[in-house]
Amino acid sequence: MGIVNVTPDSFSDGGRFLATDDAVAHGHTLLDQGADLLDIGGESTRPGATRPLVADELARVVPVIETLAQEGATLSVDTMRPEVAEAALKAGAKIVNDVSGGLADPGILKVAADHGATYVIMHWRGHSTEMQSQDHLVYAHGVVATVKEELEQRIEAARAAGIYDDKIVIDPGLGFSKTADDNWRLLAGVEEFHKLGFPVLIGASRKTFLGRLLAAPDGTLRPVTERENAHDAITVFLAQRGVWATRVHDVRAAKDALAAAMKLETIR
């Protein structure tokens, strides 16, 4: 899943693809590099980010989705808002990637159900301005078991809204109300999420826990654009464990790593 951030303030590439033409061109680049689908988002969800107005989010994502959908791309809209999900699905998106799992606005569940869209339920405990507050970082039964339990609750909410099981994808939400250690535990325990019976999406690309792993001796985090090698190792690890998709910034690097791993699998 190639990432197209149509935002001025995303942590990795904020502002680079804010103009519609730039976002569409970036989508073309990711598809040429081998992306299977594109995730188009108009709201940064990095810690501390301020939410855009609904009108601004719509203006950012809908023209990009319309253009790429007309060209035959498979598209996901990364949004927590039912208004944006509705417009994006009408414009040609097929997937709603809701980082809040319906908690930010339950109306988005009905939108996904009414359109028969695939709906990604991510584990979430609060908006960007509050998600790293101390009370959101407590996992009473361990992070893997607790995230699994809370995802089950959101799955039931999606079902109650009319979303069928074959349209549900789950995401443990790396970096959202999680410490670096939590993120590593979720990755190592990813097979536990398969037990819920749904495809699993993972978004680890360029996130802070990788910057901490690769930090300089003085503690300075590795810059976001220099974390790709570590992320590619994670991508291979996840593919070998049956993850449905990984959400990535650098599609070519991820595809290259997967190609090498797959070649080795054919020889064994």
- Rounded to an integer, what distance in angstroms lies between the CA atom of residue 116 and that of residue 208? 34
Which of the residues 125, 148, 206, 247 is marked catalytic? 247
16 is catalytic: no
Instruction: Select from 268, 188, 200, 195 the least CA-distant residue to 234.
Output: 188
Token reading at 235: 């991508």
Nearest to 258 by CA among 249, 244, 238, 202: 238
Active-site residue, from 60, 125, 207, 227 = 207
Sequence-separated (6 or more) residues with CB below 8 Å from residue 7:
14, 15, 18, 41, 42, 43, 44, 52, 60
Query: φ and ψ at 126, to 5 degrees?
Result: 165, 160
User: In the annotation, is 154 catalytic?
Assistant: no
Please count the other Cβ atoms lying within 10 Å of the Cβ belonging to residue 195.
8
C-alpha 3/C-alpha 184 separation (Å) is 22
Residues acting as catalytic residues: 207, 247
